[in-house]
Structure 1
């Protein structure tokens, strides 16, 4: 099973680049029918993870994915799952 990995460490201070990277990952996942996107905001202060969570709750993004799962062993990482018919 293929998955897409998005590491936000290199662009942590560029809000527009973060949105673009997440949107591109979602578009790629849907186009290639990939069921899992791994997003790595890192541990840090938690602000980047909050930014990712706000992105995921946007009205035009939320219908694109099936569910979100936090990594139980690494709170600096989360998984977004897609379901296709």
Structure 2
């Protein structure tokens, strides 16, 4: 069982549907397979993608699946989701 699952959103950043699908799939997989941490790499940019990812993670049906979010102080281009 892997300790961490990484989702890099760079390849799909232009498609809101693909972004949502990638985040949702990773969260459900982590919950199902008891993966401890999902690392979501959204990149630094203007923050638009980060806001989209955080909004998705705060939806009630997603929020109930994980324990907490962690923002990497050394790299603000990623979010760690702890299960």
TM-score band (shorter)? over 0.9
Task: Give, in angstroms, the shift of residue 28 of structure 1.
Answer: 1.2
User: What is the RMSD computed on CA atoms of the aligned residues?
Assistant: 0.9
Contact 2:31 2:66 in 1 (8 A): no
SS in 1 for 2:60: coil
| TM-score, length-scaled by structure 1 | 0.92
Distance 2:57 2:28 in 1: 13
How many equivalent residue pairs?
A: 82
Structure 1 position 41 matched with structure 2 position 31: no
Q: Which runs of 5+ in 2 are unaligned?
A: none
| Structure 2 contact 68–81 (Cα < 8 Å) conserved | yes
Given the alignment of the two structures, is residue 71 of structure 1 paired with residue 72 of structure 2, yes or no?
A: yes
Runs ≥4 in structure 1, deviation > 2 angstroms? none
- Name stretches of at least 5 consecutive residues in structure 1 with no aligned partner: none
Q: Work out whether 1:26 is the aligned partner of 2:27.
A: yes
- Rounded to whole Å, the distance in 2 between the matches of 1:69 and 1:63 is 16
Normalising to structure 2: TM-score of the pair?
0.94
* 8 Å contact kept, 2:40–2:79: yes
What per-residue deviation string (whole Å, max 9, x for no partner) do you get for residues 15-66 of structure 1? 0101110111011111210010000000011000000010011111111100
Equivalent position of 1:3 in the other structure: 4
Contact 2:66/2:82 (CA < 8 Å) preserved in 1? Answer: yes
